[in-house]
Amino acid sequence: GPVVRVDGVSKRFDTKSGTVQALEGIRQSIGAGEFVAIVGPSGCGKSTLLRILCGLEEPTEGRIDWGREGQAPRMGVAFQDHRLLPWLSIEQNIMLPRLMQGRASAADIDRALALCKLVGLTGFEKRRPAELSGGMKQRASVARALFTDPELLLLDEPFGALDALTREQITADTERIWTEQGFAALLITHSISEAVHLADRVIVMSARPGRVVAEFKIDLPRPRT
Ligand code: ADP
Ligand code: ADP
């Protein structure tokens, strides 16, 4: 069954300069293990939808139904601006979900190190974010999103600011990790090629109001493990 069902969700922002209909009548579901990409111009409501999914915004109308008896799945989120804490090491940043609850155990440290390896950051565990390239910081933010072993991974243009080659490498690594780990994913991207490369299904949105205007399944052979 689906990990999440978005049921007729609309979102309006009332501002001094007027009302913005950021989303209108969004009806979508994401299956367990499914990789969905959302593409569309700036302002079509992609980030608003993702923020509603992770609980940072409330819909004005409609609702989010979680698959398992109304309980939200474990989620991980990675953003374009990576949001690593500059005074913590990469390893500590990856363990942040645990550090916020108290002390990290030896098992947590092992997991953070394993995630560093998974995303290609072995050798950089003790470095601070400022010592890493842009691509490496994005890898670290994806590793942190994976720390809680998410059933649903939310990716808000995590590779948008990277150069084309770095982006291609990270896209390939993301596909490998998804194939190995089996989580459902929702990726926001401006890149049709990235969407087509990674996703099982691509949703196209348009702005004013933010609506789904097209949707297509991608049926390419994948290197399933
Ligand atoms: P996208 O991620 O597709 O670029 P957003 O979800 O960020 O689009 O924004 C959708 C629309 O909602 C835009 O017109 C944006 O200006 C507006 N918007 C988003 N957040 C707010 C907010 N907190 N207050 C007012 N307007 C907002
Ligand atoms: P990615 O494809 O992970 O974004 P980059 O293209 O940014 O990688 O960097 C390529 C390689 O250069 C990295 O994998 C790393 O080995 C090395 N590198 C980048 N920045 C640094 C740094 N600050 N210190 C040491 N090595 C680095």
pLDDT in tens, 160-193: 888 888 888 888 999 999 999 999 999 999 888 8
Predicted model pTM = 0.88
| pLDDT at position 223 | 58
Q: What is the rounded CA–CA span in Å between residue 72 and residue 4?
A: 8
Average pLDDT estimate for 17-24: 96
| pLDDT at position 1 | 81
Query: Which is the closest atom of ligand 1 to the Cα of 45?
Result: 6
Q: Answer whether residue 225 shows pLDDT above 50.
A: no
Q: How far is the CA of 57 from the centre of ligand 1 (A)?
A: 11
| pLDDT at position 222 | 66
- φ/ψ bin of 60: left (φ > 0), alpha (ψ from -120 to 50), beta (otherwise): alpha
Q: Answer whether residue 97 shows pLDDT above 50.
A: yes
131 lines ligand 2 (CB under 6 A): yes
Which ligand gives the minimal distance to the CA of 131?
2
For the segment 133-152, what is each residue's pLDDT rounded down to a tens digit? 999 999 999 999 999 999 99
Q: How far is the CA of 48 from the centre of ligand 2 (A)?
A: 32
What residue's CA is closest to ligand 2, atom 1? 135
Bridge partners, 153 (sequence order): 76, 185
Q: How far is the CA of 13 from the centre of ligand 1 (A)?
A: 8
Task: Work out the pLDDT band at 195, boundaries 50, 70, 90.
Answer: very high
Kindly list the distances between the CA atom of residue 90 and the CA atoms of 59, 70, 160, 202, in Å, as whole numbers in the listed order: 34, 34, 21, 32
Which ligand gives the minimal distance to the CA of 123?
2
Strand order in the sheet with 152-156: 75-79, 152-156, 184-188, 35-39, 201-206, 211-217
Q: Answer whether residue 62 shows pLDDT above 80.
A: yes
| pLDDT at position 83 | 94
| pLDDT at position 167 | 87
Neighbours of 18 (CB within 10 A): 7
Residue with the bigger pLDDT between 204 and 208: it is 204
